Structure 1
Amino acid sequence: MKHATLAGFPCWCPITIVLIFLSLPVSLIASPPLQSTAQHQITGTVTDQEGLPLAGVNIIIKDREAGTMSDENGKYTMAVQDTDILIFSFVGFKMQEVAVAGKTDVHVTMQEDIMALEGVEVNAGYYTVKERERTGSISRINAEDIGKQPVSNPLAAMQGRMPGVYIQQNTGVPGGDFNIQIRGRNSIAGGNAPLYVVDGVPFPSEPSSAFGNLITNGGNSLNGLDVNNIASIEVLKDADATAIYGSRGANGVVLITTKKGSAGKASLDLNIQSGTGSVGRFMDLLDTGQYLQMRREAFANDGVEPTPANARDLLLWDTSRYTDWQKKLVGGTSYLTDLRGAVSGGNAQTSFRFGGGYRKETTVFPGDFGYRKLSGFLNLTHRSEDNRFRAEVSVNYAAEDNNLMSRDITSFIFLPPVAPPVYDNNGNLNWGPEGGSFNNPYSILRRTYTTGTDNLIGNVGLDYEFLPGLRAKVGMGYTSIRAKDVQVTPWSSIHPLSLSYEEANSTFGNKNTKTWIVEPRLEYAKTIGRGELRILAGSTFQQTKNESLYVYASGFSSDALLEDVASAGTIRSNSGYSEYNYHAVFGRVNFNWDSRYILNLTGRRDGSSRFGPGKRFAGFGAVGLAWIFSEERFLKNSLLSFGKLRASYGTSGNDQIGDYGYLDTYSSTVPYQDHAGLYPTRLFNPGYGWEVNKKLEIALELGLAHNRVTLSTAWFRNRSSNQLVGLSLPPVTGFSSIQANLPALVQNTGIEIALHTQNIRSEDFSWDTSVNITIPRNKLLEYPGLENSGYTNTYAIGKSLNIRKTFRYTGIEPQTGIYRFEDVNGDGRVSYPDDLQAIKAIEQDFFGGMHNSLSYKGLQLDVFFQFVRQTGNTSLFATRSVPGTSVNQPVEVMERWQQPGDVSNVQPFTQSASSAQTIAFNQSLFYGDNTIGDASFIRLKTVSLSYTVPARYLSGMKARVYVQGQNLLTITGYSGLDPEYSTSMRLPPLQMLTAGVQLTL
């Protein structure tokens, strides 16, 4: 297939720019030797304005490589020369320079910066900005927040901690998938995933494994990152923050920055952690007595006599037996081992950090299953003595090995409690009496699924100052994700009654995703009176290639040969290849007048190979404004420490659709007599273009009492139009749909609130609290021709995209006990689709989190609660089986209707597939709004308790011991396994408890 290219961008541009930078004079890198001067010891204490000691203050010698930090008592000791100048720096305090001048004791009182936010730098992608001066919406968590959680995926560490960012864990299986939405769902049928950027390099958001529909749900590419090597995660949300990423930032941007080395004596950091995991809560299911009562009553209600054919559980199985299938299948204990090490150091010109980690995590399922990750990283940073030339190299690598079964067996918890044992007396799988009356869940344990993934991220950054205020930069990055999956179905796992049409087989999958990117840019800064002007201009050249190969093999003579393709009697294969090219130019103009009035203009011209000729290029831009009104004279010396009003408006696009969608495509037919043909699979349609997302935000930020109380509130509105959806085609065309733009308009609005308070601050004790809450609303504003589209029974104008069109449940008929639904059209019967209504949505009404951090001397306690008010699938329908059949049920079914006049929400038991109860139940299961209910919860997400051993007990070493808990308690009225992900029966997020020790040498 001919690859799509972008006209107008010469292919030699990236190479030329790289050669220009590599040809810079190396003399700029050289550093003169240090002069030898007599040294002496100096000691001192660092305190704040109230005389309280400050721990962790950075103390470095100006123009030299030496440095140290103050201990928990604010004390420090270091070797200096009489001519040295000491620089003291600490977040929230003004930097101070103190000359040694022959002194042996230097005590420093740090002055709190009333504008404490001023010193905090926030990563905005192509530039950094001071927290107090940003015009866009950016949320951030740092390494300290991440390190207090025993997680292996950055998304898990972000849950509940950022306003406007909703993250849902889909499964508790290690290496599993996550859902993330930043300020709601914008696209009807296109992608809604954010852009991930790791150290300036785009990182794929699609599933990492070759198979996308098995136990891990395809996995998540971010599992390949070493969480403990992450320095910070910033999420860009509004137009001002995301517009510089153009179309790639339509659904938000997640910026991940890894840790860097620092100047000073080389140090070794070791971290050892071990723990266990388990399912935190179980469903309340019927015991043996209740189950037998349900079954016998069902036969009596139907007037049917139990027989071995229709009542194997009553007549063939041991009715005195009780098996708690929840405990047996998902009630085990998983074990976690995490080992990490890093070496860092360097001098004033060159710093380094390298190390690696090993993580092993087993499952709660029976059997020897587990996940392993081996990671390594390297970072080198160099700058010339005059600071005109800078260079940085960063490499991150991780190898994952996940050994699981092919299917999550959590759904088997509804097996009858009287079901036979899983093994017979000979140790073989037990299929029950009468030649196979038992669907043995342990057969799934033999259908193994293994996936191995290699993740490589590398980037090089070069930076040179040609003239004062004018810097040229280039970033070059490369990512590679290689996945190799094998799924095996042995003979021994196949039910005896299925051997006539099912045979042992294996499926092999290989997937390789490679991305390279080159981004040259120029930055210019100039002071104009009381104002500061900053200009950024750059270009992006990016290419992503996807290659895949799938092989299905069957006809094996033995289970021992299943992973040897050559031993198969029948082999079928399928391969795929796609190439995505993306080119862009972008610019930013920022003007800051008197640290009060800030204007930020951003623009980007994007080109994507996913669109046809004439549709590939589009322009996007944004404007951001900020007024720091606390700097006005009339507010000076007031209770208000900081006040800022900001607003932004702009556009971004979306091209998250398949590659080559505008071209005719063909696939080969099954070979016949050594010949194969081609048949069309898609029609040519070059007429569709970009989705457009218009974003508006207004926000207020306040700081009181020297910023010990900070409040941030924001209102946003995102409108996404020109929706990329599949346009339905008549059957006579031979195709079901064709890619097209429709003038549908989707709106997301919301309110975000973030509050931080320093409740207590004394010499030995401190207590901080942070709370965030988001109130989102999603609505389909316009969809011309919706009634004639393929989505007429899916969406409704004025309603959320997350609705279900359902029958309105009106209760149980008191005389018959059968479900009743509203007859909307009045024709005397309830039918699909005439009586469907847009009734309920499965979505969040609000979500957020609350974090309390308390410290007493060397003790540190962090407690974080996540809360969500939402709707979800009710647990009564988790079994997908009508009460009365040979499937266990929640105990709520015992409150069933039994006689005329009873008031209940549960129908009388039935075992018949054609009874009135079964027909009504199936109607309810697929279309009834009584399948949707409250799934709100408050979760004790994280508890971390640590103790830092006083330095006086250690000889030049730092030590910290800690215990951590994750998902320790869930408060909810939901009666299912877990309210977070209620749309299918999967293993819930595990309750983890770990302990560890961190040593710094």
Structure 2
Amino acid sequence: MKRLFVITATMLLLMVASTTFAQKTISGKVTDSKDGQGISGASVQIVGTSNGTVSAQDGSFTLSNVAAGQSLSASGVGYETKIVDIGDSSFLQIVLTATTQEMNEVVVIGYGTQRKREVTGAISKVSGDKLNTIVAPSFEAALQGKAPGVQVMQGNGLAGSGSVIRIRGVGSVTAGGDPLYVVDGIPIGSDQFLRQDNRSGMNQNPLASINPADIESIEVLKDAGATGIYGSRGANGVILITTKRGKSGKPAFNYSTRLGASTYTRKPSFVSTAEWLQLRQEGWVNDGNTGYADIPGGFTYESAAKNNTDWWDLLTQTGFINEHNLSMSQGTKKFKTFANLSYSNNEGYIKSNAYERLSARLNIDYNILSNLKLSLTSGWNRGVNKRVPAAWDGGIGDAMSGALPFFSVYNEDGSYFTNGANPMRRMLETKRREIDNRFIGGLSLEYQPIKNLFIRANGSVEYTTAIDDVYESNIWINQANPDSGYAKRFPYWGTNKNGNVTVNYLKNIGSDHKFNFLAGVEAQEYIRENYLFEIGSLPVRLT
């Protein structure tokens, strides 16, 4: 019996050793059949098992615990799934082919459209329905994770604040890194510093007033080909925004609403008063001092220990988000119309902070003749941003830095505490509101005199106004003078005119060769005015 046990155990050990010996680690690379470039984010998995990984930025991958004779499955978004036998290989080169549906998709390339399979540059397309899958403060924030090579970084999280977008990294050391935004062929102003500096610790997002529900699709031009279309303006990439237009059929109405909540992703860790006093005393002693350490604000250890203020809790909230969209689409062979009316209110995670947007759109397409088409594009957006101080300007910035836990909001007599940072005093005694109005209108005419020859003329205007109002009470400015108080207004006007004429000729040679000849001219003019108004004075600044 003992001998039988030894033989059985030996055989089991040999089997385990044999299995372990047969397992190995393999590596490889997933590439695109079109250009040979690596595909990042591709799923690589052993067939029939949970053993898998995701390819790196250059398409490379590594898998361990792989047995000879197993098969490998590789797939990616927009690519057909491919299964390969591993065999005795330790390195696999996996080539994926884009799906037929993806390759036949029509994309906007600037002055026209092409099928994706005919595009030689790097273009990513995001449809409007994908943008609206999540509640986002603005459309560019909804791009996050939906377009390869496009990095979207949310700013400070305040309602109405902008996102930082970088296409394939930073392309300049001293110049700006923002891409060019083009709405229905109209290059628009999107510079957050164009109208103002970062007063109150944030910049108003000039793109926040654009309604994501109006967007049909977004194309991102990522390579040097963008400069061939838009010149130096496209040096950091181009984001082309196409709004919805009317479709054939009887009038169809659509209503949608979304409700949500906003809060901070993670609460920072703050020390309590007892912990702060302990750390203060330890630092005091470690510096070679004796006795009790000095405490800011004229506090003693006994008086400081009585307070333990949670500044973060006092300044933050769970915001409510609601959005409503009502649209109408109708069309005949000659006349198509799309109209939309939208309202949204996005409360931020900081008390008193909210961004309210009202927008309207009317797009019309009219076939005057069989070879002559007139198109009208128009949109109006109004954004009201209830701003609060942040970062270096106080408010939530003070709550994360200078406001110590033993400071209080009010003194015993009911007056504000002023012997140190008091974020609540700053927030309650200052008011700020910024109102933006943006009108975008464009008229285009397309004429086809002969087959495959298209002549297009476009004229457009973007008119923007902004009023940034700031009020600071006498309690904040000067407590000794009850009649004081301070009000400022920063108005802005901007007019952006654009016009272009293009001649486009298409030539097909057989079924495999296509030529697209394009010639055109474009002119753009941008005029802006800034002022500063103060109570009791004339404008003191003009730029």
Normalised TM-score (structure 2): 0.76
- CA-based RMSD of the aligned residues comes to 2.6
Deviation at 1:114, TM superposition (A): 7.3
- Of 323, 328, 334, 2:309 maps to 323
Partner residue of 2:502 out of 495, 502, 521: 521
Number of residue equivalences: 440
Aligned match for 1:547, one of 529, 538, 541: 529
Mapping 1:391-430, distance limit 5 Å: 391-408=374-391, 409-411=395-397, 412-414=399-401, 418-424=405-411, 428-430=414-416
Letter of the aligned partner of 2:312 in structure 1?
A: Q
**Whole-Å separation in 2 of the counterparts to 1:142 and 1:326:** 39
Give the Å deviation of 1:483: 0.7
Distance between the aligned counterparts of 2:149 and 2:322, measured in 1? 33
1:159 matched to 2:141: no
Could you say if the C-alpha distance between residues 240 and 413 of structure 1 is closer, same or farther in structure 2, counting changes exceeding 3 Å?
Answer: closer
Distance in structure 1 (CA, Å) of the matches to 2:474 and 2:454 = 66
Question: CA offsets, 1:820-864, max 9 Å, x none?
Answer: xxxxxxxxxxxxxxxxxxxxxxxxxxxxxxxxxxxxxxxxxxxxx
Aligned-partner SS, 1:466:
coil
Change (3 A) 1:138 1:176: same
Shift in alpha-carbon separation, 1:311–1:338, aligned structure 2, 3 A: closer
SS in 2 for 1:439: coil
Contact 2:181 2:240 in 1 (8 A): yes
Q: SS of 2:207's equivalent?
A: helix
How many Å separate the matches in 1 of 2:326 and 2:320? 20
Deviations, residues 30-89 of structure 1 (Å, cap 9, x unaligned): xxxxxxxxxxxxxxxxxxxxxxxxxxxxxxxxxxxxxxxxxxxxxxxxxxxxxxxxxxxx
SS in 1 for 2:426: helix
- Residue 337 of structure 2 corresponds to residue 352 of structure 1: yes
The offset of 1:418, in angstroms, is 4.0
| Aligned partner (choices 516, 524, 528) of residue 534 of structure 1 | 516
- Aligned-partner Cα distance in 1 for 2:437–2:520: 31
Residue pairs, 1:119-518, within 5 angstroms: 119-207=104-192, 210-215=195-200, 217-302=202-287, 303-306=289-292, 312-315=298-301, 317-330=303-316, 332-366=317-351, 368-384=352-368, 386=370, 388-408=371-391, 409-411=395-397, 412-414=399-401, 418-424=405-411, 428-431=414-417, 436-445=418-427, 446-494=429-477, 504-518=485-499
* Unpaired runs of at least 5, structure 2: 1-77, 80-97
Q: Partners in 2 of 1:437 and 1:544 — Cα distance? A: 48
- Name the CA distance, whole Å, in 2 between partners of 1:209 and 1:242: 22
How far is the alpha carbon of 1:285 from its aligned partner? 2.2
Q: Which residue of 2 aligns with 1:574?
A: 541
Q: Secondary structure at the match of 1:317?
A: helix
Quote the residue 2:73 is aligned against.
none
Q: Residue 571 of structure 1: CA displacement?
A: 5.5
What percent identity do the matched residue pairs reach? 25
Which amino acid in 2 is paired with 1:312?
G
Separation in 2, partners of 1:372, 1:180: 23
Q: Equivalents in 1 of 2:296, 2:364: separation in Å?
A: 71
How far the C-alpha of 1:495 sits from its partner, in A, is 7.2
Instruction: Give the C-alpha shift of residue 160 in structure 1.
Output: 2.3
Q: Distance in 1 between matches of 2:374 and 2:111?
A: 16
Q: Is the 8 A contact 2:126 2:219 kept in 1?
A: yes
Does the 8 Å contact 2:218/2:242 carry over to 1? yes
Q: Hey, which of these two has a bigger chunk of helix by percent?
A: 2
Q: Which moved more, 1:253-262 or 1:155-164?
A: 155-164
- Provide, for residues 209-250 of structure 1, a one-character-per-residue CA deviation record: whole Å limited to 9, x for no partner: 843212462212111201111111111011234411112111
Question: Tell me, what secondary structure is at the counterpart of 2:247?
Answer: coil
Deviating above 6 A after TM superposition, structure 1's stretches of 4 or more consecutive aligned residues are none
User: Partner of 2:239: helix, strand, or coil?
Assistant: strand
Name the aligned partner's letter for residue 463 of structure 1. Answer: E
TM-score by length of 1: 0.42
Q: CA deviation at 1:541?
A: 1.2
2:67 maps to: none
Counterpart amino acid of 1:235? V
Give the Cα separation in 2 of the matches to 1:204 and 1:549: 18
Q: Post-superposition shift, 1:199?
A: 0.3
What does residue 881 of structure 1 align with?
none
Q: Is the 8 A contact 1:175 1:216 kept in 2?
A: no
2 CA distance for matches of 1:429 and 1:243?
A: 63
| Contact 2:379 2:439 survives alignment (8 Å) | yes
Q: State the 1:384 CA deviation.
A: 4.8
Q: 1:295 to 1:341 in 2, by over 3 A?
A: same
Distance 2:539 2:442 in 1: 39
Do the aligned partners of 1:511 and 1:548 also contact (CA within 8 Å) in 2?
yes
Pair 1:235–1:288, CA change in 2 (3 A): same
Cα–Cα, structure 1 residues 301 and 313, in superposed 2: closer, same or farther, change >3 Å?
A: farther
Give SS of 1:204's match.
coil
Matches within 5 A, 1:973-988: none
Q: Tell me how far 1:333 sits from its aligned partner.
A: 1.1
Report the 3-state secondary structure (helix = DSSP H, G, I; strand = E; otherwise coil) of the residue aligned with 1:294.
helix
- Structure 1 match to 2:9: none
- How far residue 438 of structure 1 moved from its aligned partner, in angstroms, is 3.2
8 Å CA contact retained: 1:308, 1:315: no
Q: Please list the CA deviations of residues 671-693 of structure 1 after superposition, one character each: whole Å capped at 9, or x if unmatched.
A: xxxxxxxxxxxxxxxxxxxxxxx
**1:538 & 1:252 partners in 2: Cα distance?**
21
Contact 2:246 2:364 in 1 (8 A): yes
Q: Take 2:263 and 2:478, find their aligned partners in 1: how far apart are those partners? A: 30
- 1:661-700 matched pairs, under 5 angstroms: none
**Are the aligned partners of 1:471 and 1:523 in contact in 2 as well (CA < 8 Å)?**
yes
Given residue 144 of structure 2, which amino acid in structure 1 is its aligned partner?
Answer: Q
* Contact preservation (8 Å) 1:173, 1:216: no
1:167, 1:178 within 8 Å by CA — same for their partners in 2? Answer: yes
- Higher RCO, Cα 8 Å, sep 6+: 1
Query: What code does the residue aligned with 2:146 have?
Result: R
Maintained 8 Å contact 1:472/1:522: yes
1:317 CA drift (Å): 3.3
Tell me, which stretches of 5 or more residues in structure 1 are unaligned?
1-90, 93-112, 554-564, 577-1001
| Counterparts of 1:333 and 1:356, CA distance in 2 | 27
Distance 1:310-1:356 versus aligned 2 partners, 3 A rule: closer
SS in 2 for 1:117: helix
Are the structure 2 counterparts of residues 114 and 511 from structure 1 closer, same or farther at C-alpha, using a change threshold of 3 Å?
closer
Partner residue of 1:667? none
**1:753-799 deviation digits (Å, cap 9, x = unpaired):** xxxxxxxxxxxxxxxxxxxxxxxxxxxxxxxxxxxxxxxxxxxxxxx
